[in-house]
Chains A and B, each alone.
Chain A
């Protein structure tokens, strides 16, 4: 019987566990955007404007990620054009 209870228990993480995982994700994301250079939001906005001259995309279409590797910085830009209709 105990095994069955454990099984159901393991299916559902406690609310504190859920809170911790959500926090870890959001805090990591906000820290990385904080450490980035100031021009990133403006660059993001302008890239969107350029793309929108040709294709209609939503705000999520442009994802940017800045990484430090040794003494060089790599800016990765992913542009998703969405479903083909």
Chain B
């Protein structure tokens, strides 16, 4: 039985797809067979971030409609062993993602995989609800910025009431907080909410903090999950987050601004 993990946020553009790609790749690197599923019907992008956009033949909706088998639609990642991608459909028909269809696909994936990462679309419409409905666990991606934090809180409310587990009266699914685009120097200047501020408002368990980093754009330009860039701060922070997700205790890094002395400025630019 696979563990189903939804990557969600409510607000768009905070790094859900980047995180889905990074977490899925990170789990596969740790030896867990992982499938990452794009639920953003109509606006597929996970394929681009994973660098497999030219290998998409069939998609999620094709599988639901029986036009293709899961085996035909799944794309095997070329870089990381044990990692597979199920791309979203480009259809404009949002109703295509039926609850029965999604359940069937997730059940079939559950037989073969250890983890299923569901990359949720933004908003609280059908795609987002379907991505979280069958989840066992959630990672809520939040930027230290007012609208993102508010939307994350809204999403936490939905996770607590609109998942299958909640509807069946079981314990609500555990939700982890992942703060992305964190800029410690701006926090020091009082220009950005701190990790403590965000955690205090949302009061959920902290999985990790990903610093604002040029490596993220570079990675998406190249179509390579940023977690594979182990030279970069963001890549290492994602690696830490995955380790914590798997139960390892690791101290949080990249939370303080790099102090640049006068020599640092002169010699490093």
Contacts and interface: CB of A to CB of B under 8 A. Distances in A.
Given A16-B194, A19-B146, A22-B146, A30 B201 contact: no
Contacts of B201: 20, 23-24, 27
B261 interface: no
Contact of B153 (A14, A16, A19, A30): A30
A2 interface: no
A14 B190 contact: yes
A42 interface: no
Contacts of B192: 16
Contacts of B164: none
Given A24-B201, A27-B201, A16 B146 contact: no
B191 interface: yes
The secondary structure that dominates the A interface is helix
A53 interface: no
A21 to B, nearest CB: 10
The secondary structure that dominates the B interface is helix
Interface string B119-155: 0000000000000000000000000011001100110
A20 B197 contact: yes
A14 B187 CA distance: 10
Contacts of A22: 146
B209 interface: no
Contacts of A19: 145-146, 193, 197
A73 B136 CA distance: 32
A15 interface: yes
A27 B153 contact: yes
A20 B201 CA distance: 8
Interface in A16-65: 16-17, 19-20, 22-24, 26-27, 30-31, 34
Interface residues of A, number: 14
Contact of B150 (A14, A17, A23, A34): A23
A30 B154 contact: yes
A34 B124 CA distance: 15
B157 interface: yes
A65 B171 CA distance: 27
A32 B189 CA distance: 33
B144 to A, nearest CB: 8
B187 to A, nearest CB: 7
Given A15-B190, A23-B193, A26-B150, 11 more contacts: A14-B189, A14-B190, A15-B191, A16-B197, A19-B146, A19-B197, A20-B193, A20-B201, A22-B146, A27-B149, A31-B153
19 contacts: A14-B191, A15-B190, A15-B191, A16-B187, A16-B191, A16-B192, A16-B193, A16-B197, A19-B145, A19-B197, A20-B193, A20-B197, A20-B201, A23-B149, A26-B150, A27-B149, A30-B153, A30-B154, A30-B157
Interface of B: 145-146, 149-150, 153-154, 157, 187, 189-194, 197, 200-201
